[in-house]
Chains A and B, each alone.
Chain A
Amino acid sequence: MQLYEPTSATPRRKANRAPALASIAGLRIGILENGKLNAEEMLNEFAALFVKRHGCTVRTLASKSNASAPAPANTLLKVAQEVDFLITGLGD
């Protein structure tokens, strides 16, 4: 008996990590918040620890208009040009 496999024939996207940062001292931080309750507060507090401990600067706060959808590509492209690393996370 021959059975077809029910999964997608499309291979999963190959995800590659960017090269690790040699140091985070003094780097520029971006924040991407998803718009849910407490998201901005939590991420700002998180960024403040990078500022305090590693001398980072917070450069950009970007917001998603739809918490459950991927961030628009133009948002990510814009943020990528302005910061050295991005922090994000869920609110609620």
Chain B
Amino acid sequence: MAPYGTDLVLDGMLAFGKSTIASAGSHAMPAASPRIHEVPDDLLAAIDYCYEQGWTDGLPVIPPIVDRVEAMLAIDDRPAETVIARHPATGLELSLHSAAVNAVMAGCLPEHFPVLVAAFAAMDRPDFNFHGSTASTGGSAPLLIVSGPYADEIGMNSDVNLFGPGNRPNATIGRAVRLILRNVFQMLPGISDKSTQGNPGKYSFCIDERARGNPWPLLCETQGYGGGGSSVTVFAAGGFCNVENHGGNTPEQILSSVADAMANYGCITLGQSVVVLAPEHMRIIGDAGWSREKAQDFLFTHAKRPVEGMQGVGKYRDREYDTQHGKGAHALAEKGFMHRGLVPADILITMGGGDAGGHSCFIPSWSRGRGSIMQHSPIRVPRRS
């Protein structure tokens, strides 16, 4: 038998029929009007009805009553049928209307809606590759980092229990992302979402960048949305890794512990990274006069493993990187070592969390290389009457 068992696979294909080896064509169809379901005037029964339709993430949803959806849509001045994202493989489209339906179901208020819309505008960019990141065995969750004054305006949390429960916009905007992926784009667990283990962030993964006490320019400013603008950054994220350090008192000590987490053999790849520094850690780094760029350089320099160690665990795949990442992209930044990411700018660093505690975090990318690149988009702040 051939080592990959391909002879058995071929036997099965030919037995199944010749149509298996035929190619497929496709045709786009015009959009239909949103469908309305008539249900009894009983809220609990309506919640059960949503379960029965397969519209939930496993938790109860707010039934998407027509009036609530219309109120959600009223905050955006564009026509409800405006398409804000398209699935690259199936052609399914996300309109403002269907986004609003899912936002209601997730528990969003109308003022949360512009953040959700901006997130999908960013995810719609080809480089984000949201089909791959949501279908893959890697179990990615889109992490949303909201930056700028609009987050404060709608009461988002950038402080204590940053990634935990308790704040409505953080929880419901992140949840609405998942409901849209499920209901609109049909990324269904076990069918089109093939996550091996998934990720708790797939329920909701949305934070606000902390401005208070932050010595660095906010992300929205570095992204060119300054002057009162706000933004959402989206990142196809893997699982969350806590970085505890209560004894370090220098930037080198704090960032060395972060770099070590970034370079563990389970996590290290050529993919991008997100690091959210706790205020306690950021104070040490900021007081020493370190800029974001200096911290990025330090992390990139120290988040590395020797090639022979990578080979030892079977993770050094030179030819794979060569094929997937383009000419030169796989080149080692330092002879004999593989670093996390390709360049220091692959590491997004910001601040968040409560004042007390030496707990920062590192969040690896789903992609092992350039399969998904983080994106950002401005938030269209609604006009005030």
Interface residues of A (CB under 8 A from B): 1-22, 24, 35-38, 41-42, 45-46, 49-50, 53, 63, 65-70, 80, 85-87
Q: Which among B30, B34, B88, B102 is the interface contact of A69 at CB below 8 angstroms? A: B88
Interface pair B69/A4, CB less than 8 Å apart:
yes
Interface pair A16/B24, CB less than 8 Å apart:
yes
Give the distance in Å from the alpha carbon of A42 to the alpha carbon of B90 in the complex: 27
For the complex of A and B, the 7 pairs showing the least CB-CB separation, nearest first, are A68-B132, A35-B323, A11-B29, A5-B35, A6-B183, A20-B18, A13-B26
Inside 8 A of A46's CB, which chain B residues have their CB? 4, 6, 9-10
Give the distance in Å from the alpha carbon of A17 to the alpha carbon of B97 in the complex: 33
- For the complex with contacts A2-B36, A37-B319, 13 further pairs of A-B residues with Cβ separation under 8 Å are A3-B39, A3-B50, A5-B36, A7-B186, A9-B32, A9-B95, A10-B92, A11-B32, A21-B21, A46-B4, A66-B370, A68-B129, A70-B89
Give the distance in Å from the alpha carbon of A65 to the alpha carbon of B132 in the complex: 13
Inside 8 A of A42's CB, which chain B residues have their CB? 4, 6
Interface pair A1/B34, CB less than 8 Å apart:
no
> Among residues 154 to 179 in chain B, which have CB atoms less than 8 Å away from a CB atom of chain A?
179
Interface pair B136/A68, CB less than 8 Å apart:
yes
Given contacts A1-B46, A21-B22, contact A45 B39 (CB under 8 A): no
Within the complex, what minimum Cβ distance (angstroms) separates B184 from chain A? Answer: 5
Interface pair B34/A9, CB less than 8 Å apart:
yes
Give the distance in Å from the alpha carbon of A70 to the alpha carbon of B87 in the complex: 11
Q: Mark B119-136, 1 if CB is under 8 A from A, else 0.
A: 000000010010111011
Interface pair B317/A45, CB less than 8 Å apart:
no
> Among residues 283 to 324 in chain B, which have CB atoms less than 8 Å away from a CB atom of chain A?
317, 319-320, 323-324
Total contacts A-B at CB 8 Å: 184
Give the distance in Å from the alpha carbon of A69 to the alpha carbon of B87 in the complex: 11
Interface residues of B (CB under 8 A from A): 2-4, 6-7, 9-10, 17-19, 21-42, 46, 49-50, 53, 55, 63-66, 69, 81, 88-95, 97-98, 101-102, 105, 126, 129, 131-133, 135-136, 179, 183-186, 317, 319-320, 323-326, 367, 370-372
Within the complex, what minimum Cβ distance (angstroms) separates A6 from chain B? Answer: 4
Q: Which among B22, B25, B55, B371 is the interface contact of A6 at CB below 8 angstroms? A: B55
Give the distance in Å from the alpha carbon of A80 to the alpha carbon of B22 in the complex: 12
Give the distance in Å from the alpha carbon of A4 to the alpha carbon of B33 in the complex: 10
Given contacts A20-B17, A66-B129, A85-B21, contact A3 B66 (CB under 8 A): yes
Give the distance in Å from the alpha carbon of A4 to the alpha carbon of B37 in the complex: 6
Within the complex, what minimum Cβ distance (angstroms) separates B148 from chain A? Answer: 29
Q: Which among A4, A21, A65 is the interface contact of B324 at CB below 8 angstroms? A: A65
Inside 8 A of B105's CB, which chain A residues have their CB? 6
Inside 8 A of A86's CB, which chain B residues have their CB? 23
Interface pair A69/B132, CB less than 8 Å apart:
yes
Interface pair B4/A8, CB less than 8 Å apart:
no
Given contacts A35-B323, A67-B371, A69-B131, contact A14 B29 (CB under 8 A): yes
